[in-house]
């Protein structure tokens, strides 16, 4: 059980303890989606370099433990409001890699049919909100989804992500204020990856931690190691249970590192070398794979196979997305208004 403090939890435990008596299928599924996320994003980086994409590419390297770990603590009918580092959460929910690639290519088969693009994808049929650029615009929307669940007496919850930099905005503050006084079933997850574009943490916030901001809203705030999928999963599961029980929202901070540039066009030479060094030893996908192997939940060959399957899946996705048509402009004025 996670304790509701703001101290950093989850010093790495021996694998067996960490894994405990969890469902090995769930663990393998989390692993599989983390691996798939990495494979798809690696493939997309190659596509970016090769000129397959329209504009820039935003990736979530080293965010996989957060995006998959947190999403895996939800039910499929729970609402999800992800950001640009959360491919893993999308995939976990059922978004297809080729749809995401199609979004970065402006293809007719992207979730918006090429109207929006890049990271602006989502699917309400999977209970995933499709965010606009403005960060974190998904937070107020997430309070609304949670409000609707409560309004209807459903026990659904809503998980929303934002970055460290996004915590300084109106949307963050006003959402957490409303969610806390209304006791809405929200989980607000801050992906602290040390930078907001080029802006380091010290220019973003003077608070002791991002989790500490929870005090301003009278909600629990916990800080977890964002490279540790199990720590993320557990903290989220606890917040989900709290929300489902009608006890209101929680704030979680997951600490990781943005291992690529803000987007792929950004060489990110403003990043401290030491941070790259420190985090190059903390690849969340590798770490989790090792935990599972050590705990005997996964064997080395199976792990290899998972990687190879993911690679092939990503290759096939690219092939499909490339072959997909560009949209037809004929109906571009349709749908500005709903019927």
Partner 1 sequence: MPTDSGTATYLEAVGLALDAEMDRDPDVFIIGEDVGQFGGAFKVTKGFLDKFGPRRVVDTPIAETGFTGLAAGAALVGLRPVVEFQFADFISCAFDPIINVLARHHWRTGDPMPVTMRAPFGGRLRAGPTHSQSVESYFAHVPGLKIVMPGTPEDAAGLLISSIRDNNPTLYLENKYLYRRLKAKGPISLDPIPLGVAKVVREGRDVTLVTYSAGVHQGLEIAEELDKDGISVEVVDVRTLVPLDVETIVNSVKKTSRAVVLHEAAKRLGYGAEIAATIQEEAFWHLDQPVVRIAALNTPTPTSPPLEDAVIPQPAQIAETLRKVARA
| Site stretch for a second copy (CB under 8 A), options 17-25, 35-43, 79-87, 178-186 | 178-186
Q: H or E element: which one contains 42?
A: helix 24-50
CB of 211 vs a second copy, minimal distance in Å = 10
Half-sphere exposure of 33 (CA within 13 A, CB side): 27
Terminal C-alpha separation, the chain: 49
**List 122, 221, 226, 249, residue binding partner 1 (CB under 8 A):** 122
CB-based contact 30:68 (threshold 8 Å): yes
Residue 64, classified by CB atoms within 10 Å of its CB into exposed (0-12), middle (13-18) or buried (19+), is buried
Residue 197 as a binder of ligand TPP (CB under 6 A): the answer is yes
One DSSP character per residue, 96-119 reads -HHHHHHHHHT-TTSTTTTSS-TT
How far apart (Å, rounded) are the C-alpha atoms in residues 162 and 190?
5
One DSSP character per residue, 61-72 reads TT-HHHHHHHHT
DSSP state of 82: -
**List 111, 114, 144, 163, residue binding Mg ion (CB under 5 A):** 163
Q: Which does residue 124 touch among a second copy, partner 1, Mg ion, none (CB within 5 to 8 A, set by kind)?
A: partner 1
Contact characters 227-256, ligand TPP, x per CB under 6 A: ------------------------------
Q: Which residues contact 336 (CB under 8 A, 6 or more apart)?
A: none
Residue 300: how many other CB atoms lie within 10 Å: 9
Which residues within the stretch 52-71 sit at the binding site for partner 1 (CB under 8 A)? 54-55
**List 5, 46, 133, 276, residue binding ligand TPP (CB under 6 A):** 133
How far apart (Å, rounded) are the C-alpha atoms in residues 297 and 45?
31
Q: Which is nearer to ligand TPP, 83 or 145 (CB)?
A: 83
Which residues within the stretch 7-36 sit at the binding site for ligand TPP (CB under 6 A)? none
Residue 218: how many other CB atoms lie within 10 Å: 12
Virtual torsion, Cα 12, 13, 17, 18, nearest 10 deg: 0
Residue 209 as a binder of Mg ion (CB under 5 A): the answer is no
Q: Which does residue 79 touch among a second copy, ligand TPP, partner 1, none (CB within 5 to 8 A, set by kind)?
A: partner 1
Which residues within the stretch 136-175 sit at the binding site for partner 1 (CB under 8 A)? 137, 139-149, 151, 158, 165-166, 168-171, 173-175
CB of 220 vs ligand TPP, minimal distance in Å = 22
CB of 213 vs a second copy, minimal distance in Å = 4
Residue 97 as a binder of Mg ion (CB under 5 A): the answer is no
CB of 200 vs ligand TPP, minimal distance in Å = 10
Residue 203 as a binder of partner 1 (CB under 8 A): the answer is yes
CB-based contact 291:18 (threshold 8 Å): yes
Burial state string for 79-109 with b = 16 or more CB within 10 A and e = fewer than 16: bbbbbbbbbbbbbbbebbbbbbbbbbbbbeb
CB of 197 vs ligand TPP, minimal distance in Å = 4
Residue 174 as a binder of a second copy (CB under 8 A): the answer is yes
Which residues make up the interface to a second copy (CB under 8 A)? 168-170, 172-174, 177-178, 180-181, 202-208, 212-213, 215-219, 248
Contacting residues toward Mg ion, per CB under 5 A: 163-164, 193, 196
């Amino acid at each position: 059980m996670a304790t509701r403090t703001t101290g950093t939890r989850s010093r790495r435990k021996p694998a067996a303890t960490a894994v405990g008596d969890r469902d090995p299928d769930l663990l393998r599924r989390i692993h599989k989606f983390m691996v798939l996320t990495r494979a798809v994003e690696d493939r997309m980086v190659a596509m970016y370099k090769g000129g397959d994409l329209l504009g820039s590419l935003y990736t979530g390297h080293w965010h996989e433990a957060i995006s998959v770990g947190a999403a895996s603590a939800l039910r499929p009918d729970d609402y999800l409001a992800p950001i640009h580092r959360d491919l893993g959460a999308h995939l976990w929910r059922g978004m297809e890699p080729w749809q995401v690639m199609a979004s970065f290519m402006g293809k007719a088969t992207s979730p918006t049919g090429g109207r929006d693009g890049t990271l602006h994808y989502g699917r309400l049929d999977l209970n995933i909100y499709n965010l606009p650029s403005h960060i974190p615009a998904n937070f107020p929307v997430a309070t609304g989804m949670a409000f609707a669940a409560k309004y209807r007496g459903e026990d659904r919850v809503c998980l929303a992500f934002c970055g460290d930099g996004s915590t300084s905005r109106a949307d963050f503050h006003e959402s957490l204020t409303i969610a806390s006084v209304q006791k809405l079933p929200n989980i607000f997850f801050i992906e602290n990856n040390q930078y907001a574009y080029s802006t380091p943490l010290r220019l973003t916030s003077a608070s002791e931690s991002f989790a500490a901001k929870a005090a301003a809203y009278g909600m629990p705030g916990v800080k977890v190691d964002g490279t540790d999928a199990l720590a993320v999963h557990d903290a989220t599961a606890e917040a989900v249970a709290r929300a489902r029980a009608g006890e209101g929202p929680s704030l979680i901070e997951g600490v990781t590192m943005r291992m690529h540039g803000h987007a792929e066009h950004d060489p990110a030479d403003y990043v401290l070398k030491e941070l790259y060094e420190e985090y190059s030893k903390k690849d969340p996908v590798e770490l989790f794979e090792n935990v599972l192997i050590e705990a005997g939940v996964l064997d080395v060959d199976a792990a290899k196979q998972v990687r190879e399957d993911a690679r092939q899946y990503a290759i096939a996705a690219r092939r499909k997305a490339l072959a997909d048509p560009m949209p037809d402009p004929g109906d571009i004025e349709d749908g500005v208004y709903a019927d």
